[in-house]
Each structure stands twice: as C-alpha cells, then as structure tokens.
Amino acid sequence: MEVKLGFGAIPKPQYVFVSREADHCWYMLSEDEKRIPIYERALTGVITKIETYKKVETKFKIVEKNDLYILADKPYIIRSGSESYFSKSLLLSLDVLIYQQLRSPLTISVSPGDSNVVFCSIYDPVTYQSVGVSWDGHREIDWQALGEKVSLKINSLQNLNQEAIQLSTNTTPSEVHAVLIAQTDRYLAQLNWTPEQGREYLQQKYGKRSRLQLTDTEILEFIDYLKLELPQNCQM
C-alpha cells in the first residue's frame, strides 16, 4: 500500500456497516454520524484479523458484533451483527478457505436477500470463483464455536506472518518450516506432552511420525489444535 506524504486524514481503519437498503447493502459513517451509502457490492483486500461475538455498546444497548479486518486501499473493518446472515455466511466461507488462500487478496461481496437479510460471499479475485459453502444443518451449528475456530485460524496465521517477517528477506522455505516447528515446541512444552504422545497424535491425524514430515498447512493445523488444548490462561 502506497504511503502518501504530507497532510491528510488520520490513518485509522474505516468502519463499514452491513444493512439491507433499497439500493445498497452496506455503508460508512461520516464524522457527523451521517450514513454514506456504498453502492459497490464488493471489497477486495487481504484479511488481517477477525473478532467474533464481541460486545459493542450502542446508544440503546450492548450488542454482539463480528468485526472483519481487511487491508485494501486503506484499512477497513466490516462490522455486522453476530447472529446476522451476513456474519454466518462469512464464517462458513472463511471456515472452508485454506491457509494459502487466506494469505492472498480475497473479494468480500454482499447480496440482498428477503426482507432485511444480507448474505456474504467470498471470491478469488484472480479466478472469479466463489467459495462454495453449504447451509445444510445450519440450525444445529454452534456459531460461537465456529467463530472461535475461524478466529484462531486467521489470527494464528497473522502471528505466523509476523514471525516470518522477523527473518531475513532471503528466508528459505526450510527456515520458515523451522519457525513453525519452534512454535509447536513451545505449545508442546506448555502441555507437558511426551514425544510418544506427539508421535501418536501425528500418526493418527496425518499418518506421519514426525513434525518434520508435515507440510506447512499441516503444521499450522497442528498449532491450532495445540492452542485449543492449552488452558485459557496460557493462551494470552
């Protein structure tokens, strides 16, 4: 993203709110709190973070919102109600995406449904293909648990990127692999896992006996699993 020198606006994220209107599905707020409609149906950028089921205080009451952070021409935060169809379709799509896809720009789009419903779809901006999701059994889904799962995947990926950036610009794939292995070492130590426990899990999950045999994606999945196993006070 190009940095413009000189006077300009305060460099803070721009909030984008989801709402089903006659001719648009999302909007921004001006400094005097007036709605600015966004008529474009899609926003393309790199997802950097997500917060789910966060409590937000409004003029009337405290509500639960999901915030999706996207870096595009400027930083944006798409805010939607945690129980809205937009948030649910967003979580379903993000859950399907693999780590390699989350590292690349994605297109977040809105589409109107019946009444005040707004749906979210995610596209690959290079191939124009949408992420296929299924609503089968959606009434039985634990959406809060799904939100935690998606948050862990996206936010751990960003932590990994930050660690990788600390390496030299000539970092090789093997060096990145070593960073991932070191990260699992920390979590395994906190869990007091024995080498035998680790090998048994890898054998059952991936059919492999050593972390050195795992792909980067498999190691990231292993890291996610270990994080979930950690006591809450160790995850801070």
DSSP string, 25-38: SEEEE-TTS-EEEE
> Of 34 and 152, which is predicted with more confidence?
34
Those residues with Cβ within 8 angstroms of residue 183's Cβ, 6 or more apart along the chain or in another chain: 160, 163, 223
pLDDT tens column, 54-89: 999 888 889 999 999 999 988 999 999 999 999 999
144 falls within a domain: no
Provide mean pLDDT across the span 196-200.
89
Around Cβ 215, how many Cβ atoms within 10 Å?
A: 13
33 falls within a domain: yes
Q: Give the separation between CA 117 and CA 83, rounded to whole angstroms.
A: 11
> Of 233 and 173, which is predicted with more confidence?
173
For residue 164, give the 3-state DSSP assignment.
helix
* Tally of structural domains, the chain: 2
Asked whether residue 233 carries a pLDDT value surpassing 70, the answer given is no
223 falls within a domain: yes
Q: Are residues 122 and 222 in the same domain?
A: no
Q: Are residues 131 and 224 in the same domain?
A: no
**Cβ pair 108, 127 in contact under 8 A:** no
pLDDT tens column, 138-186: 888 999 999 988 888 887 766 655 554 444 444 455 656 677 787 788 8
Asked whether residue 223 carries a pLDDT value surpassing 80, the answer given is yes
Q: Are residues 128 and 178 in the same domain?
A: no
Q: Give the separation between CA 17 and CA 210, rounded to whole angstroms.
A: 46
Q: What is the pLDDT of residue 171?
A: 47
Query: What end-to-end distance do the CA atoms of the chain give, in Å?
Result: 30
- Here the tokens at position 54 are 């966060």
> What is the model's pTM?
0.69
Q: What is the pLDDT of residue 86?
A: 96
Sheet of 42-57: strand order equals 35-38, 26-29, 14-18, 75-81, 62-71, 42-57, 106-112, 118-123
Provide mean pLDDT across the span 194-211.
89
Provide mean pLDDT across the span 221-225.
84
174 falls within a domain: yes
Asked whether residue 236 carries a pLDDT value surpassing 80, the answer given is no
Final residue before a domain boundary, out of 136, 153, 177: 136
Q: What is the pLDDT of residue 161?
A: 55
Q: Are residues 218 and 107 in the same domain?
A: no
Final residue before a domain boundary, out of 114, 136, 158: 136
Average pLDDT of every residue of the chain: 85
156 falls within a domain: no
Q: Are residues 123 and 177 in the same domain?
A: no
Q: What is the pLDDT of residue 165?
A: 44
Final residue before a domain boundary, out of 118, 136, 154: 136
**Model confidence band, residue 137 (pLDDT cutoffs 50, 70, 90):** confident
2 falls within a domain: no
190 falls within a domain: yes
**Cβ pair 11, 95 in contact under 8 A:** no
Q: What is the pLDDT of residue 168?
A: 43
- Expressed as residue numbers, the domain containing 211 is 167-234
Provide mean pLDDT across the span 107-123.
93
The burial of 87, by beta-carbon neighbours within 10 Å (0-12 exposed, 13-18 middle, 19 or more buried), is given as buried
Beta strands in 113-229 (DSSP E): 118-123
Of 81, 72, 63, 70, residue with least CA distance to 18: 81
Q: Are residues 131 and 187 in the same domain?
A: no
pLDDT tens column, 14-33: 999 999 999 999 999 998 88
Q: Are residues 131 and 201 in the same domain?
A: no
**Model confidence band, residue 92 (pLDDT cutoffs 50, 70, 90):** very high
Q: Using only C-alpha atoms, what is the Rg of the chain?
A: 20
Q: Are residues 28 and 118 in the same domain?
A: yes
Of 229, 74, 53, 41, residue with least CA distance to 150: 53
Helix (H) or strand (E) holding 195: helix 195-206
Q: Give the separation between CA 202 and CA 221, rounded to whole angstroms.
A: 11
178 falls within a domain: yes
